[in-house]
Amino acid sequence: MALHFNVSEIVPGSIAKGVERRSLLSRQTVPDIKLTLDCVALSAQAELALSVSAHDLAWFQVLEGELMLTHAAGDARLTDAHVVFLPPAFSGTLRATSRASLLLAVVPDAAQLDPEFAAKPPGFRSVDWKNEPLLESKHDARKRIYLATPALFGTKAIKGEMIIYPPRTEAPRHYHVGAAHFMYFLRGCGTAFAGERSFQVKQGDLVYYSDQEEHALRGGEGEDMIFSEFFVPAGATTVWVHPEKACTWVPTGKNIKGGTPSRDIQEHSFANPASATGV
């Protein structure tokens, strides 16, 4: 059964001076889950030490504010346009230059999800999603931007994207085979469906769908509903309840700023995962 709650409902705990953590997903809430997910808030000038074990991987999405990441390869300035991949044995420090928050996920024993993980361990990656290609649905008004893919992060253990639903846009019912996933709602509001159940979603909400759980979404009124979603592992096949409504994603030739995107992506559909090779 789908999980649904707002991050504000979770009581935070202090993990360092000026740093609070909310535990969103773990094996305590979902016994068979393949990741942990936290929401971390930092006061201005607060620091968070980051450390990844030799067998794990991690990533974070900046939700608000500005941060400076310091690690062996140098310094990186981060904003809410960034998703950052942390490879095995990574060590670094995040310092908030203004009040900031982020989603931080860890995948333990990542080699179980990616057969090439041990032989070809991925390196550090930072993605500015505002420069990534903006895609549009062939059958409705939705738009998509990839946040984490094998091409971007160098591993098949995770996949992530940002989805934009204009008001009253609705996706056809579908489910994914081979991966569970979560959605974090960044802006707007709407309705989420899980089987025969429906519930309202808004900014700060998190929804977790199990592998093969049927679901759909509908945008609300007034403004776009925007959320990021992440799958563990990547490579899931999407099955539509009505196959004739299978979604196909088409490149617009632009990024979300209207400029030239950082790379090219071909038209593809996850009803046919082979067509999505290289995204």
Digit-coded pLDDT (tens) for 162-192: 999 999 999 999 999 999 999 999 999 999 9
Q: Are 155 and 110 in contact (CB under 8 A)?
A: yes
Six token digits for residue 204 = 């700060």
Q: How far, in Å, CA of 63 to CA of 85, rounded? A: 15
Q: What is the CA radius of gyration of the chain?
A: 18
Q: How far, in Å, CA of 86 to CA of 161, rounded? A: 17
Angle at 180 between CA 186 and CA 271, to 5 degrees: 95
Give the model's pLDDT for residue 244.
86
pLDDT tens track for 39-65: 999 999 999 999 999 999 999 999 999
Low-confidence ranges of the chain (pLDDT < 70): none
Bridge partners, residue 107, by sequence: 57
Give the model's pLDDT for residue 278.
80
What phi and psi, each to the nearest 5 degrees, are found at residue 50? -115, 130
Give the model's pLDDT for residue 1.
84
Give the model's pLDDT for residue 125.
96
Q: How far, in Å, CA of 277 to CA of 196, rounded? A: 33
Domains in the chain: ranges and CATH: 3-124 (2.60.120.10), 130-276 (2.60.120.10)
